[in-house]
Chain A
Amino acid sequence: GAGVSQSPRYKVAKRGQDVALRCDPISGHVSLFWYQQALGQGPEFLTYFQNEAQLDKSGLPSDRFFAERPEGSVSTLKIQRTQQEDSAVYLCASSYSRLSGGWEKLFFGSGTQLSVL
């Protein structure tokens, strides 16, 4: 597709349930990022992949959060034993650059809105 695709658009989970959120980046994009956006706030960095390697996971809030990108394309963010404070929009972004350092334009998806009841 032309842009970053995320699914599902909306997810309602009962507290304690596990959820999996999918991101299809723009074809050929090497770098992939996950951000969490709480209501009324700006996005906050969760984790970063370069191809299949997870190079930075410093933003993951707890060990209940796990992300993978096994073939260097599609990525899945998994949240185990969801809590109410996990309710947020989860945004995926991708960029082309293979270069380290400097800045490269990120293309964001529309996000998955997670509501934990």
Chain B
Amino acid sequence: GQQLNQSPQSMFIQEGEDVSMNCTSSSIFNTWLWYKQDPGEGPVLLIALYKAGELTSNGRLTAQFGITRKDSFLNISASIPSDVGIYFCAGPPSGAGGTSYGKLTFGQGTILTVHP
């Protein structure tokens, strides 16, 4: 099946620094999603990308849908302590229709720690 590889696995940064993380796949995705998961909670959607080359922002977060459709990037500017958590990329199977649209494949996550 499709697999998503995230890097780095973890990051330790100082408050105020910018953060970059990425997600790659061996197969094409038609939608890229970025989620954040806080400890003891479920994932929460941050940004959704639908077209190759698309660049979308949500506050201090910016994500890009790679041209090859096999990768995506998430940047966080001017990090703050509440950015701490696990960031996941995810996507529905390409060519999925019918019953499969909510059947997401997730990466293994990037753990972000922000030091005040």
Contacts and interface: CB of A to CB of B under 8 A. Distances in A.
8 contacts: A41-B109, A42-B88, A48-B99, A56-B103, A93-B42, A103-B102, A104-B101, A104-B102
Interface of A: 4, 31, 33, 40-45, 48, 50, 55-56, 59, 91, 93, 95, 97, 100-106, 108-111
B97 A101 contact: yes
Interface in B30-64: 31, 40-45, 48
Given A41-B108, A103-B31, A103-B92, A95 B42 contact: no
Contacts, number: 71
B101 A91 contact: no
A56 B99 contact: yes
Interface string B9-36: 0000000000000000000000100000
A100 B107 contact: no
Contact of A55 (B88, B99, B108): B99
Contacts of B40: 110-111
Contact of A108 (B43, B107, B108): B43
